[in-house]
Structure 1
Amino acid sequence: MTDAFTAPGRFFRGNLHTHSTLSDGVLPSAEVCRRYAAQGYDFIALTDHFIGLYGYPVADTRPFRGAGFTTLLGAELHSGAMANGELWHILAVGLPADFAPGHAPDFAPAEGQETGAAIAARAAAAGAFVAIAHPQWSGLTLADARGIEAAHAVEVYNHGCAVGSDRADGFGIADLLLTEGRRLSLIATDDAHFTEPDHFGGWVMVKAEENAPEALLAALKAGRFYATQGPELRGVALDGDAVEVACSAVSTVIVQGRGSAAVACHGAAMTRARVPLGRCAASPWLRVTVIDAAGRRAWSNPIWR
């Protein structure tokens, strides 16, 4: 992945997974965008459920763009069935407004519909940034995840799934795919429906030269971002036999690698840490987690060695 911390530009805060009254959210699109802008977000992707029940919506949020706030068109795609018999959930951010529907009349698998892998590939070919949504909540198997070859990312934290079912995690699937050589990035999102406190809990910080849809989308595809619940990452770099981390004040810095490999550094209000690779030295990839005194986390994208 391209290094977000040395690339030109600045970081922009964005949510990549949100719903409105165009599908099963409770707020109109304009109000969802207004709330995110008021909360200090730089951009949002409204990703309503792309099924026939709701008329296959790709929300037109272009009218809600303004000074300091922009939007990316997108949808949460559904098709085929996973191993557990339930419908696929695949995020597609940067979809064209006229993205062709498949055959997904509702939230149940239908005879003859395209597979999840096929609709993900169609979305990527149409220019979208594609992510495997909420693996733990979906009951995703590793074999399921392997099949989505067009994915750019795995949703590793989903705030709505944390609040509503305590199934927010995607790291188990992500780390196994990384170990198999898949060069994936890691996103945190809200999946906000505004039916419960499922908003403003997880986001991405994207490094781009301007807060414009094309620049943000290119940065997402290149992995120039990190995911967070609040802490800031200001630098993550491999330096010989250690990883150098700069961040906002945190209590823990962890470097993770293949299998059980991990090395942790603990302290008080740390803003810099040099973490020796130790058991991570043989891993082909590394990633970093920081944890602040309130238990909030931020996660780097993988570093490939």
Structure 2
Amino acid sequence: MPHLPPFSLPGRFWRGNLHTHSTLSDGVLEPAKVVQAYKDAGYDFMMLSDHFIDHFDWPVADTRAFRSNSFTTIIGSELHAPQTSAGELWHIVAAGLPLDFAPCAPEETGVQVARRAADAGAFIGIAHPAWSQLTIEDGRALDVAHAVEIYNHGCAIECDRGDGFYLLDQLLTEGKRLTAFATDDAHFRHPDHFGGWVQVKAEANDPDLLLAALKNGEYYSSQGPLIHDISIEGPELHVTTSPVDTIAVVCGHSRTVQRLGRSITDATLDLRKLERGWLLTKQSPWFRVAVIDQNGKRAWSNPVWKDQL
């Protein structure tokens, strides 16, 4: 039974957070203490994504001194420039920026700064779309994005706007080949940390390898549950996980296929059921896996495109 990426790839999964703030912008803790908090919590890597804006003197945090044999950091920032359809600044996670990334020019737009960051080698993520009230037009405009932030723990606990799937799924159905990442967006004022992360498959816990894997979509996201493997044989998808109560496949319309139970660790799901249904007139070109444990914690695969199977 062929295993799907990233589960089929060599290496191991590394747990990391890509969206966190320090005293370099509006966070409570100094950079060293933020990094130490993630080390102590069992993470393998993290990124300080302080707000890249003139109010904070355009910070790109140099966290190289905090790297060790067992923990590493990615250099990046949360980019801002005018303006979304709601009339607000863009919030764009950029992982893998050079330390000398130039400040925004007064006339530079959010779309333009995202393109400049992508040209500099960064992984570009559309941050907290529900919190920012982004529209489908906003998503289309950010044409260099690699991913949508589908879970933002800070936004979820502060105002129940942590979800980004509404935007991701629409863009996927329009053919945008985006992936899905979960984060904390921690400022450490509240219990806004250690609630969402990525599990990145790479052969070593190395910033360059992690960044390449993120760009290639070689990861999944979680609030706690583990996805051990996803494989496919003919129309059947086989998923193995840590103990959960739901293993489901969703796609670009309302059809789903799932296994429900108590502390289940595997499911074989018939993907043909996604193509059947009353008044269903269009098939989805993609699907993704979601799992839910008994505490309501979730994990999510990246989208799988049928034309790549």
TM-score category (smaller protein): over 0.9
Aligned to 1:291: 292
Superposed, 1:273-288 pairs within 5 Å as: 273-281=267-275, 282-288=283-289
Alignment check: 8 A CA contact 1:132 1:151 kept = yes
CA deviation profile, 1:234-276 (whole Å, cap 9, x unmatched): 1112322222101100000110111222222101111110111
Q: Does 1:214 align with 2:208?
A: yes
User: 2:60 aligns to what?
Assistant: 58
* Matching residue's letter, 1:265: R
Give the Cα separation in 2 of the matches to 1:127 and 1:298: 28
Which residue matches 2:131? 137
**Counterpart code for 1:291:** I
Find the aligned partners of 1:61 and 1:176 in 2 and give their Cα distance: 36
Report the counterpart of residue 173 of structure 1 in structure 2.
167
Choose from 220, 223, 228 the match for 2:217: 223
Equivalent residues, number: 296
Mind listing any 5+ residue stretches in structure 1 that lack a counterpart?
104-111
- Residue ranges of structure 2 left out of the alignment (5+ in a row): 276-282
> Deviation digits for residues 110-154 of structure 1, max 9, x if unmatched?
xx5222111111111100000000000000000011000000000
Query: SS in structure 1 opposite 2:55?
Result: helix
The residue type equivalent to 2:46 in the other structure is: I
The change in CA–CA distance for 1:238 and 1:113 in structure 2 (over 3 A counts) is farther
Q: Shift of residue 31 of structure 1? A: 0.3
Q: Normalising to structure 2: TM-score of the pair?
A: 0.94
Superposed CA RMSD in Å reads 1.0
CA distance in 2, matches of 1:165, 1:242: 39
Within-5 A mapping of 1:1-305: 3-103=5-105, 113-281=107-275, 282-305=283-306
- For the residues of structure 2 that align with 1:258 and 1:60, how far apart are their CA atoms? 40
Alignment partner of 1:46: what SS?
Answer: coil
Q: C-alpha distance in 2, partners of 1:183/1:237?
A: 20
TM-score by length of 1: 0.95
**CA deviations over 1:156-210 (Å, ceiling 9, x no partner):** 0000001111100000000000001111110000000001000000000000000
Q: Distance in 2 between the 1:57 and 1:3 partners? A: 35
Q: Distance in 2 between matches of 1:234 and 1:90?
A: 30
Question: Any conservation in 2 of the 1:156–1:169 contact (CA below 8 Å)?
Answer: yes
In the alignment, is the contact (CA less than 8 A) between 1:192 and 1:199 conserved in 2?
Answer: yes
Task: Return the letter of the residue paired with 1:275.
Answer: L
TM-superposition CA deviations, 1:83-103 (whole Å, max 9, x none): 110110000001000011104
**Residues in 1 aligned to 2:107 and 2:293: alpha-carbon distance in whole angstroms:** 45
- Cα pair 1:280 1:286 within 8 Å, conserved: no
Q: Distance in 2 between matches of 1:34 and 1:165?
A: 27
Displacement of 1:6 in angstroms is 0.6
Identity %: 56
Matches of 2:302 and 2:102 in 1, distance apart? 31
